[in-house]
Chain A
Amino acid sequence: MSNEWEIVIGLEVHVQLHTRAKVFASASWGFGKEPNEQVDPVVLGLPGTLPVVNREAVEKSILFGLVVDAEIPEQCAWDRKNYFYPDNPKNYQLTQKDFPVTMGGKVEIELPGAARNIMGEHKWIRIHHAHLEEDVGKLSHSGSGSLVDYNRAGVPLLEIVTEPDLRSAAEASAFLNALVVKLTQAGVADCDMEKGQLRCDANVSVRRMGDTQLGTRTETKNLNSISGVRDCIIYESRRQIAQIEAGHKITQETRGWNAEMSRGYVLRDKEDAHDYRYFPDPDIPTLKISRETVNRLKKHVPEAPFDRQRRYIEKLNLPYTAASVLIADKALADWFETAVAAHPTNAAGIANWAANDLLRELSAQSGTEVGSDETPAVKISLDSCLIKPAQLAGLVKLTDEGVISKQQAKEVFTEMFSTGKDALAIVEAKGLRQNSDTGELEKIVAEVIADPAVAKSIAEYRAGNEKAINALKGPIMKRTQGKANPVMIDQLLRKLLG
């Protein structure tokens, strides 16, 4: 695409909150149940029933607000959004139009770097507001009719609306990744896209670079994967640019996305569907949100993932790659920090094991692909991990002290992962301990130095060439069958060469 155009994107992200019961009814909800088995009279809006708001759904919404630095208003209220469509048993959806549960906020995103080991640009995306509403039922279509399952109707749904701050498909992907990590780490939502727990509407418009007026936007509904959002934005922005360049105007319209064909299409106009005739729901009183609740929930806000990343890089001297892998999974990052507490002098060494070898073994064990596009939040379980943080720290410590070589450490790690034994016990049992017997080693070093073959290197070293000493280490290692402690060899050589 040419650089003449700027793409402007705003997202509406619908997230099913992590609760056991529905948002205004006590019916349970969850994935994979038989149709219409999680429905009660309140969900159906039968005469005589009254909706009562689920406290957990409200608190999860407030927690989301706190996680993104939003304002939590003193009061929030619910409205009826009226429309006649069979996905909705009541002919209205309970939502929040004028008094949402959170206002404002912002999410930090990280764009992909030039390479995997290079950190990309960071940017803040503003949130306009988030409102707590009920999900609607699921329709499936067969032949001449449609079938309705109301299990999903009434599931707590937080709609998170961004400002039009996103400028590319890559930024939209980065935003959704960052949002999913935040939501899952705070326990607000599970965001399993395969189960439809996160769905997205994308508002897309284009304008010529430098224009300050926004172009006419289209809204593509019901995108159910991050790759779907990305592909749709690329498709829709190209379509709009082509339209304008061909002299056409963009029509403000609602569109659908065909993921299999990777193309968008105009949704048939739902007959003045925008005339929802909102009015305050008379059954649900306005809710006063106490500051005590807000302050209590503040304690549950985890460290922001990118704050954690900065801390790892700046304070613990971790390479970006390892830091970025660890922060994507709160449990793994916590595990890592426990290990560092047991051996604080080599956090980078521990991070290297945790972010590479440990994660690889754990994901192989659980059969999940880590860090793929659709699982931005790493979903591995440390529960079944036999290695305890202090044990990994122990392994790194043995390597740092020169008791075992890095190569031997790999062998110890594999054994440790499958048995959960301490590194030292494995080293002893396998006879891996490097030779640290000074007397014996000193004898070997003395013999090697006496060999005329190395006289030249010794002379160079004595003449001030530090590196020349390395030429002596190979023969010593060879004679000890690789079991000599490299640190001790170095010390002995320097001692004997004076």
Chain B
Amino acid sequence: MAKGFDIDHLAKLARLNLTAEEKVLYSNQLTHVLTYFETLAKADLPVNSDVALVVTEKALRSDEPGMSLGSDAVTKIAPASHDGQISVPRVVDDES
């Protein structure tokens, strides 16, 4: 069993309401994924095998404004919208 994960905590962070069955299902799946990575981590690699890609400034984008999807296209792919804005359940940090 891979160490250090708590399915309730992860579900909370992801704002998911999981049923007891789903918790078992996803716990098992996540364990498989993590075990696989643990196997990878055990592989004997030469020192300095860092594969992070480093690019120079030539690989950057110039500051040229391009196309926009337009609010119709943006709201169309959202489950709900109102007046060009995407509607979501009320999330507030207001003074309470």
Contact = CB atoms under 8 A, between A and B. Distances in A.
Contacts, number: 158
Contacts of B75: 36
A279 interface: no
Nearest to A23: B61
A282 B66 CA distance: 24
A424 interface: no
Contact of A258 (B13, B52, B92, B95): B95
A36 B82 CA distance: 12
Interface residues of B, number: 42
B65 A20 contact: yes
A140 B53 CA distance: 39
Nearest to B86: A148
Interface in A129-163: 139-141, 143-150
Interface stretch (A211-219, A265-273, A374-382, A408-416): A265-273
A162 B1 CA distance: 43
Nearest to B53: A285
Given A21-B64, A27-B66, A39-B74, A141 B55 contact: no
A53 interface: yes
Interface residues of A, number: 59
Q: Which of B54, B69, B87 has the most CB of A within 10 A?
A: B69
B50 to A, nearest CB: 10
B87 A145 contact: yes
The secondary structure that dominates the B interface is loop
A85 interface: yes
A50 to B, nearest CB: 11
The secondary structure that dominates the A interface is loop
Given A52-B60, A145-B87, A258-B95, A288 B55 contact: yes
A26 B65 contact: yes
A280 interface: yes
Interface of B: 9, 12-15, 52-57, 59-71, 74-75, 77, 82-96
23 contacts: A21-B65, A27-B65, A27-B66, A37-B70, A40-B69, A44-B69, A54-B63, A55-B57, A56-B62, A56-B63, A58-B60, A84-B14, A141-B92, A141-B94, A145-B87, A145-B90, A146-B92, A147-B88, A148-B85, A150-B86, A267-B93, A285-B52, A287-B56
